[in-house]
């Protein structure tokens, strides 16, 4: 007796290890697109015209429904081997093709009442009916499957087919003819979506995932300050750009100011506000060798009887001695020098980061 083999390979390949061993593939092959697929009364999706998903082994009530057509109803016993349903929706009053019993399916009205509703699924090979004994029965059609290969620029990206988890990139399987939707997803990247049709041949999907980008703005209290990102000069403040998700070092630099540097993690919009601090200038008081107190025994040092004032503040030390050096902020300052009864003062514009020497002098003009 001749036998025909129904190859029931859907989106599940047990030997590949890409699917959980305790789930089976339910494949609905329908003659119409847009029909609703209900499992145990709950809507799971629509045919395109085929539909597939993974379910734990067990008994399920399957309904395929579309407005203007008679509902298709079956009860199946699903195992890890999977089940394929051939659904032919017809309009009311139209003659329907004889129902075919797929692997693991117990129809609503069994022709043989002795068949139990929890029948054990049949093996992967289904013998064809003997047409010579019953000319009214049609042979079970053979279902052909074709290779689907999915490659992505992010290894390990999750792959979903018709909304159901299928595996991780790189991925390959065998699926029957039909229309499908594939989604490739990875953290930090924009989802990749593609519709494709299997029509009698293999299909290759190449998913190029694009990294998520976010707006980053850099502002400073000094307009035109240079902006460096990861050591590369990117522009001047105010600065804004779209940057991929990741970690960055932002440095803001302006002449006469101390560099501002911060580490940022871009996983959403970011705003950097750099408060640049002026660089401190330094000063030194320098007296001529013959200037100051010569009574070294009473008050040693030449700075014991002089006073140096900056903006009205005496520059002295905790010991009560005159300070010989110090720091001064950029800007205009009033400098005053006092020695005994002599006073000299002047205004000086101090530049950021500059070094200044204040050197008073005294002399005698003879006319």
* 1 inside domain: yes
**In terms of domains, do 317 and 269 share one?**
no
* 366 inside domain: no
Q: How far apart are CA 177 and CA 33, in angstroms?
A: 13
Q: 326 has which bridge partners?
A: 283
* 235 inside domain: yes
Q: How far apart are CA 139 and CA 6, in angstroms?
A: 11
Domain final position from 278, 309, 329: 278
> For 340-367, what is the mean pLDDT?
81
Give the confidence band of 140 by pLDDT, cuts at 50, 70, 90. low
CATH number of the domain encompassing residue 100: 2.60.40.10
Q: State yes or no: pLDDT of 175 exceeds 80.
A: yes
* 364 inside domain: no
Q: State yes or no: pLDDT of 105 exceeds 50.
A: no
Range of the structural domain that residue 223 is part of = 213-278
Q: State yes or no: pLDDT of 302 exceeds 90.
A: no
CA distances from 224 to 229, 238, 254, 271, 280 (A): 16, 7, 8, 17, 21
Give the confidence band of 304 by pLDDT, cuts at 50, 70, 90. low
Give the confidence band of 116 by pLDDT, cuts at 50, 70, 90. very low
**In terms of domains, do 4 and 98 share one?**
yes
Q: Per mean pLDDT, which range of 5-19, 175-189, 292-306 is the poorest?
A: 5-19
Locus of tokens 């075919």: 100
Q: What percent of the chain has pLDDT over 70?
A: 73
**Using one digit for the tens of pLDDT, what is the confidence trace for 32-60?**
998 999 999 888 888 888 888 888 888 99
**In terms of domains, do 66 and 188 share one?**
no
**In terms of domains, do 106 and 36 share one?**
yes
* 174 inside domain: no
**Using one digit for the tens of pLDDT, what is the confidence trace for 24-34?**
888 999 999 98
* 56 inside domain: yes
pTM (global) more than 0.85 = no
Q: Per mean pLDDT, which range of 190-204, 315-329, 342-356 is the poorest?
A: 315-329
Q: What percent of the chain has pLDDT over 90?
A: 33
CB–CB of 6/125 below 8 Å? yes
* 367 inside domain: no
Number of compact structural domains in the chain: 4
Q: State yes or no: pLDDT of 263 exceeds 50.
A: yes
Average pLDDT along the chain: 77
**In terms of domains, do 54 and 162 share one?**
no
**In terms of domains, do 268 and 303 share one?**
no
| Residue 238, preceding peptide bond in cis (omega within 30° of 0) | yes
């Amino acid at each position: 007796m001749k036998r025909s083999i129904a190859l029931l390979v859907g989106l599940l390949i047990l030997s590949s290890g890409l699917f959980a061993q305790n789930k089976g593939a339910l494949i609905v092959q329908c003659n119409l697109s847009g029909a609703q697929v209900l499992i145990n009364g709950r809507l799971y999706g629509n045919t395109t015209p085929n539909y597939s998903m993974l379910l734990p082994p067990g008994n399920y009530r399957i309904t395929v429904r579309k407005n203007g057509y008679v509902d298709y109803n079956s009860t199946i016993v699903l195992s890890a081997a999977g089940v394929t349903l051939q659904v032919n929706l017809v309009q009311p009053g139209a003659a329907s093709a004889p129902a075919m019993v797929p692997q693991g399916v117990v129809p609503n009205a069994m022709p043989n009442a002795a068949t139990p509703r929890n029948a054990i699924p049949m093996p992967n090979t289904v013998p064809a009916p003997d047409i010579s004994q019953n000319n009214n029965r049609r042979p079970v059609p053979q279902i052909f499957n074709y290779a689907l290969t999915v490659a992505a620029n992010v290894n390990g990206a999750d792959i979903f087919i018709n909304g159901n988890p299928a595996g991780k990139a790189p991925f390959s399987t065998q699926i029957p003819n039909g229309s499908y939707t594939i989604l490739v997803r990875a953290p930090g990247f924009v989802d990749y979506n593609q519709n494709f049709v299997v029509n009698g041949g293999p299909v290759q999907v190449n998913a190029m995932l694009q990294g998520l980008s976010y707006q980053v703005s850099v502002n400073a209290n000094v307009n035109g300050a240079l902006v460096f990102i990861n050591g590369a000069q990117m522009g001047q403040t105010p600065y804004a750009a779209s940057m991929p998700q990741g970690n960055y070092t932002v440095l803001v630099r302006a002449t006469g100011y101390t560099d501002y540097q911060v580490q940022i993690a871009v996983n959403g919009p970011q705003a950097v506000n750099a408060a640049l601090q002026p660089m401190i200038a330094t000063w030194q008081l320098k007296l001529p060798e013959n200037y100051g107190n010569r009574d070294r025994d009473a008050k040693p040092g030449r700075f014991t009887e002089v006073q140096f004032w900056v903006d009205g503040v005496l520059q002295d030390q905790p010991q009560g001695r005159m300070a010989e050096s110090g720091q001064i902020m950029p800007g205009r300052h009033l400098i005053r020098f006092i020695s005994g009864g002599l006073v000299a003062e002047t205004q000086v514009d101090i530049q950021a980061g500059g070094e200044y020497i204040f050197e008073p002098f005294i002399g005698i003009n003879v006319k």
